[in-house]
Amino acid sequence: MPQVTVAINGRSYIIACEPGEEDRVRQLGRSIDAKVVGFAKDAPQAGEARLLVMAALMLADELSEARETLRRARGSSNGPAAVDEEALASGIERLALRIETVAARLEATQL
């Protein structure tokens, strides 16, 4: 199983991933790092665990909003647009699973 190194708030983490997902895991790591670094600037006294929780909550909130937007769009659409929404919903679900997998792996490497 391939492993990649992601840097979050200046600290490196080795994360296992499925073959072919290396670039995606790095990209997700950069996204998480941007959130954590932003929170660290606003709350310099916050510990690393708190920063990671704050970033996870922010990402979960963004995902929840995307799901709600999709739900509302599904309720008001019909015809060919519904097919595009199904593809979008599938993509969001895959992204959510990837985020959860990366978070679990990150948590496991910290123990």
Q: Which residues 6+ apart lie within 8 Å of 66 measured at CB?
A: 92
pLDDT tens per residue across span 4-17 = 999 999 999 999 99
What span, in angstroms and rounded, lies between the C-alpha atoms of 23 and 57? 23
For the chain, give the number of residues: 111
Instruction: List the domain boundaries for the chain.
Output: 3-110
Summarised one tens digit per residue, pLDDT across range 21-63 is 999 999 999 999 999 998 888 888 888 888 888 888 888 888 8
